[in-house]
Amino acid sequence: MIIVLGATGHVGSAVVRTLLDTGERVMVVTRSEDKAASWRRQGAEAAAIDVGNADQLRDVLRRGRRAFLLNPPAVPSTDTDREERRTAASIVAALDGSGLEGVVAASTYCARPGEEVGDLGVLFEFEQALAAQPIPTVIQRGAYYMSNWDTLLDAARGGTLPSLFPVELRLPMVAPDDLGRAAARRLLEPTEGTGIHHVEGPERYSPQDVADAFAAALGQPVAVAVTPREGWIDSFRALGFSAAAARSYAGMTAVSVDGACDLPDDPERGAMTLAVYVEGLVSRPGTTGS
């Protein structure tokens, strides 16, 4: 059996669907009993536990042979760095005595040491802790999720795409489904393969490209509205972020805007283009106005 953490998110759910399609037995780990029940109806086994409880998580991991590890994002109203470091430490602690033969862990482009750089710092430390333990580990660093634009659909319907990134800044982006398929494939490969693998979409995109994709899908003009650097923290605070989380997310944004990370020359490339992703988002049942 393969254990999957983060199965209720974009990437984790894609991992589960891909594995189930290949006939694999899958155990989903989720905090919600309702979501666990939903996965059971889809053919997976499920455990409703808190990954911040290392003992409970270890008991679940002992039921599998491999695992997909995704450190869950903290609620933005908290100190996200502190909370995510806590859950990452619990996940690593749960591996001790789990009996797993191999794991694949989700990380991010530009992971780096440092404080107040959001997931870049938290996931770098996660990578280092996984490398220090004996179970063979593959780190899958994903580019900027195309799904990060999902919450801006209503704004795009109104003709404006807010962005913290400069309008023509080209960024590596990737569809979560492509990340899920890549991770599932690595979970099924021999455990001798370890190290860091980068995954992004078929090309790199700018906020202008995102606005153009929304415009094409919606059949109306969409203009990019760039928030200047001095307004980043206030923008996050207006969304309900704590002061600590706002500083951290602003620091993470600055790494990309300032070009302060080395991008891979030859990443694995997923198949889904930005245009196809946005078209699917706009036409998805349940989205506002669809």
Per the DSSP assignment, residues forming a β-bridge with 47 are 29
Token pair of 177 as six digits = 């489904």
Mean pLDDT score across all residues of the chain? 94
In a domain, 290, yes or no: no
Kindly list the strands in the beta sheet with 204-205, ordered across the sheet, starting from the edge strand earlier in the chain.
144-145, 171-174, 204-205
In a domain, 48, yes or no: yes
The residues, ordered by sequence, that sit 6+ positions from 190 with a Cβ below 8 Å of its Cβ are none
For 142-199, the pLDDT digits (tens) are 999 999 999 999 999 999 999 999 999 999 999 999 999 999 999 998 876 679 999 9
In a domain, 288, yes or no: no
For 30-75, the pLDDT digits (tens) are 998 999 999 999 999 999 999 999 999 999 999 999 999 999 999 9
Number of domains in the chain: 1
In a domain, 67, yes or no: yes
CATH number at residue 103: 3.40.50.720
Angle (CA) 36 40 45, round 5°? 85
In a domain, 140, yes or no: yes
In a domain, 189, yes or no: yes
The closest alpha carbon to 175, from 210, 123, 125, 223, belongs to 210
In a domain, 167, yes or no: no
Mean pLDDT of 230-235: 97
The answer, yes or no, to whether residue 289 has pLDDT greater than 50, is no
Say what percent of the chain tops pLDDT 70: 97
pLDDT value for 189: 86
The answer, yes or no, to whether residue 18 has pLDDT greater than 60, is yes
The closest alpha carbon to 3, from 42, 41, 58, belongs to 58
pTM beyond 0.85: yes
For 84-110, the pLDDT digits (tens) are 999 999 999 999 999 999 999 999 999
Rounded to whole angstroms, the Cα distance separating 167 from 170 reads 9
In terms of residue numbers, what domain contains 65?
2-146+174-200+262-271
Rounded to whole angstroms, the Cα distance separating 281 from 106 reads 23
For 239-277, the pLDDT digits (tens) are 999 999 999 999 999 999 998 888 998 999 999 999 999
CB 235 within 8 A of CB 165: no
CB burial class (10 A; 0-12, 13-18, 19+) of residue 13? buried
Distance of CA 109 to the CA centre of its chain: 11
Q: How many CA atoms lie within 13 A of 204 on its CB side?
A: 11
For 114-123, the pLDDT digits (tens) are 899 999 999 9
pLDDT value for 260: 86
pLDDT value for 148: 95
pLDDT value for 290: 33
Rounded to whole angstroms, the Cα distance separating 150 from 15 reads 20
Q: Does the CA dihedral 251-140-47-21 come out positive or negative?
A: positive
In a domain, 243, yes or no: no
pLDDT value for 226: 97
pLDDT value for 286: 66
Residue spans of beta strands (DSSP E) within 191-266: 195-200, 204-205, 223-226
pLDDT value for 190: 80
How far CA 183 is from CA of 65, 72, 240, 268, in Å, comes to 15, 16, 32, 12
